């Protein structure tokens, strides 16, 4: 009886692993699409940040150009005042004010040239980012089309493999299926493991669990070899143990 149950459990494990593999494959496609979507979202954030920098640079240039116009207006007023004064000290003071205003204009104009250069660099970065965004969006559309084309086939295959797994499970006692499922969920579907001879000490007759490679008792091996009706589990990893047929 135990031998028959173990054979069915091995078939159940094979079917369950196939379902898990197909579900992981489907999930991998979905993850790949999510990664591409996240890349696009980050790229859009980068473009928005560049737009903010461009607006800030434009505002800075506009402010400095306004300062230049105001300074030139001040110089013109100072020149008009010079024509009215008769005192040399007042004339010299007005001359100094005009000189300081001209120095301010020169400083602002230098900064404006630097800002304009920064704006050109931002424009270039923005164009490059838009080009890269267009490519990412094109690649995402192609990936979605490919995934959608495959999805129907994958879903149908998963449904068929689940049906096969459920058929096998229906031929086993519910408590055993429950035990199998709990172990499989914890160990990525690997609920069963063979008992094998320890290769490091082949002459000692020591047996280990083929799943976690920890030792199992001689009594466990005897029970499995004797087709005991009770299932044996590894004391370390709790996998259901079986002997390979020779």
- pLDDT over 90, % of the chain: 74
Total structural domains in the chain?
A: 2
- DSSP result, 39-68: HHHHHHHHHHHHHHHHHHHHHHHHHHHHHH
Answer yes or no: do 153 and 237 share one domain: no
Answer yes or no: do 35 and 75 share one domain: yes
The reported pLDDT for the residue numbered 244 is 82
Q: Which domain holds residue 146?
A: 15-172
Give the residue-averaged pLDDT of 183-204.
Answer: 85
Please give the Cα distance from 171 to 76 (Å, whole number): 102
Answer yes or no: do 45 and 97 share one domain: yes
Answer yes or no: do 23 and 143 share one domain: yes
Answer yes or no: do 203 and 137 share one domain: no
Answer yes or no: do 40 and 162 share one domain: yes
Q: Given a cut of 70, is residue 204 above it in pLDDT?
A: no
CA dist list (Å): 77 to 57, 84, 86, 102: 30, 11, 16, 13
**Within-domain flag for 129:** yes
**Within-domain flag for 34:** yes
The reported pLDDT for the residue numbered 151 is 79
CA dist list (Å): 211 to 24, 111, 179, 187, 188: 21, 71, 17, 10, 12
Number of Cβ atoms within 10 Å of the Cβ of 232: 21
Q: Given a cut of 90, is residue 146 above it in pLDDT?
A: no
**Tens digits of per-residue pLDDT, 223-244?**
888 766 678 999 999 999 999 8
Answer yes or no: do 139 and 213 share one domain: no
CATH number of the domain encompassing residue 34:
1.10.287.1490
> Which residues fall within 8 angstroms of residue 79, CB to CB, at 6 or more apart?
98
The pLDDT-based confidence of 72 (bands split at 50, 70, 90) is very high
């Amino acid at each position: 009886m135990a031998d028959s149950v173990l054979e069915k459990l091995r078939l159940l494990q094979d079917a369950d692993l196939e379902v898990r593999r197909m579900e992981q494959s489907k999930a991998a496609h979905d993850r790949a699409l999510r990664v591409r979507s996240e890349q696009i979202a980050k790229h859009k954030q980068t473009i928005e940040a560049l737009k903010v920098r461009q607006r800030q640079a434009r505002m800075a240039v506009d402010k400095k150009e306004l300062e230049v116009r105001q300074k030139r207006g001040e110089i013109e007023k100072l020149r008009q005042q010079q024509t009215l004064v008769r005192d040399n000290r007042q004339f010299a003071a007005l001359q100094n004010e005009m000189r300081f205003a001209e120095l301010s204009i020169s400083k602002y104009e230098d900064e404006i040239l630097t800002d304009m250069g920064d704006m050109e660099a931002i424009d270039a970065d923005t164009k490059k980012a838009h080009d890269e965004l267009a490519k990412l969006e094109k690649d995402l559309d192609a990936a979605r089309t490919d995934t959608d084309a495959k999805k129907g086939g994958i879903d149908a295959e998963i449904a068929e493999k689940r049906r096969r797994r459920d058929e096998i499970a229906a031929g086993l006692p519910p408590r055993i299926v429950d035990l199998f499922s709990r172990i499989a969920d914890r160990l990525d579907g690997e609920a069963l493991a063979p008992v094998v001879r320890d290769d490091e000490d082949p002459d000692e007759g020591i047996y280990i669990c083929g799943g976690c490679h920890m030792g199992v008792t001689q009594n466990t091996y005897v029970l499995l070899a004797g087709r005991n009706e009770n299932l044996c589990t590894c004391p370390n990893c709790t996998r259901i143990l079986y002997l390979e047929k020779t």
